[in-house]
Structure 1
Amino acid sequence: MSDWKAGSDARLPLYQRLREEIMDRIASGEWPPGEPIPTESELTRRYNIAVGTVRRAIDTLVNEGLLERSQGRGTFVRRPDFDASFFRFFRQVNAEGEASVPDSRILSASLQTPPPVASKALGLAHDASCICLERLRTLEDGSLLTEKIWLPAARFSGLLKVPLEEFDNLLYPFYEARFGQRIGSARETLTIASADAITSDTLGIALNDPVVVIERTALGYDQTPLEYRCSMGAAATFRYQIEIS
């Protein structure tokens, strides 16, 4: 007997239906990040489809970065390390030249109407309410990044009741633990701008010094936008490196 959830689009190819089914179960928390999904043989029995179809659906999700295979252990829901990826672009070394993980501090949390760029990224009406977090990321008491983060109020109700000192250094595990909102992927855009008075004062740089602006839209495993953030750091601390083969 098949175990398709209600709402699965029967017009889609079977492997694509299974792909969406797996994503739905991950997004709902039934198959959480870091845990294995059922084996190919179990999925074949559960959905009454051929193993080749199951394998194609899993291959698609592996290629999309949502699942990862572990030799001899199974296929796991991938938990992306966004901060490790993000900070490969910035020099994060201490006074001895050793790699170091920046600290994070939430400066404020408030209910606001988001700017158009944030409401568009989150797929919200222009007058929808969002929670705005202002965060500073530091390294050995020096400011590395200043961030403004926008979250849909409907999905993060109760966030404003959390004391600022109780926010975790890493926000995505915090979102999951407190509000059941799981981040599965993100899109980033990098641009260069000039530091205004507030940014220059926060980062300890001169007015109009170049800053790198990183806009990120973070998505749930079902591709629902859950967070929009704008991060700014001094261009002098930024580097871009890519390997081409």
Structure 2
Amino acid sequence: MPGPGRAALDGLDPRLPLHARLREVLVARVESGEWTPARPLPAETALAEYYEVALGTMRRVLGELVEQGLLERRHGSGTFVRRAKLDSSLFRFFRYGDPRSGTPAGRILSFDRAALPATAAEALGEPPGAASLHLHRLRLRDDEPVLVEDIWLPLPRFAVLADHHQDDLGDLLYPAYERHCGIVVASAEEILTVGTANAGDALLLRCRRSDPVVFIERTARTHDGTAVEWRRSVGRAADFRYRIEIR
């Protein structure tokens, strides 16, 4: 009689090859949050034994998931669910100080409950006016303002953050989401547009009102595709650059 791992494989469409069914059940364990970036996956041999497949088949599927970017191998530590390295993506667009100086600091200006505005609600798949947490913060590098950010997090998914002091969140928010809420951000979509600074942004960015600025709207998603964060970042257009390598 097959064990629970093999039974999970046998319960899928038998027309699919074994490696495709194995891939499907492994991805499901990542998407469900059972496996997280904080701890390594079980050893390849243990997984092969659990699912009653050849070790070569297990290695092939895990290798495909590494190539896809769902998993990553850390030398000497094992295989982990991959954390998206999204925070640095914003700063590849802006010239501020020495990029080797590390992550820009985050100064939270306000952190409170608020109704979702229409744009954020649409991106998050929530009704306009739904309950959310709103973070308004300034990013700085070498004490120079880089970005003004407005970040919207749907409730009750992020309710536990409301019980923490804003200083507990740190400069990088995605590790805080994982640490406090068990939410792992896996991917994001960014839309860039150009406009002019309003009075509030101009004051924080130390530019003139109506100076050109770049808006970056980001929707962040978990491994199963659920939208969990929407943010709008604003930076001075004079400091903006776009670079991409085309092969």
- Structure 1 range deviating more: 227-236 or 106-115: 106-115
Task: Check conservation: 1:183, 1:221, Cα contact below 8 A.
Answer: yes
* 1:85 aligns with one of 86, 89, 108: 89
- Say which is worse superposed, 21-30 or 108-117, in terms of deviation: 21-30
Q: Deviations over 1:111-134 (max 9, x none)?
A: 222122211211212342111111
Of 179, 184, 187, the match for 2:186: 184
Contact 1:93 1:100 in 2 (8 A): no
Distance 2:161 2:6 in 1: 34
Provide the aligned C-alpha RMSD in A. 2.8
Cα shift at 1:158:
3.1
Superposition TM-score, scaled by structure 1 size? 0.84
Partner of 1:236: 238
Q: Secondary structure at the match of 2:4?
A: coil
Once residues 103 and 75 of structure 2 are traced to their aligned partners in structure 1, the CA distance between those partners, rounded to angstroms, is 30
Asked if the contact 2:193–2:216 (Cα under 8 Å) also holds between the matched residues in 1, the reply is yes
TM, length-normalised to structure 2: 0.83
Q: CA deviation digits over 1:60-114, x for unaligned, max 9?
A: 43233121235676433212222223222222316xx974531101111122221
Match of 1:3 among 5, 11, 19: 5
Query: What does 1:116-131 align with in structure 2 at a 5 Å threshold?
Result: 116-131=118-133
SS at match of 2:179: helix
Shift of 1:227: 0.7
CA contact (8 A) 1:27 1:182 kept: no
Residue aligned with 1:69, SS:
strand
Q: Does 1:68 align with 2:72?
A: yes
- Using the alignment, how far apart are the partners of 1:138 and 1:151 within structure 2? 22
Whether contact under 8 Å (2:97, 2:142) holds in the other structure is: no
Q: Which residue of 1 aligns with 2:165?
A: 163
Residue 167 of structure 1 deviates from its aligned partner by 2.4
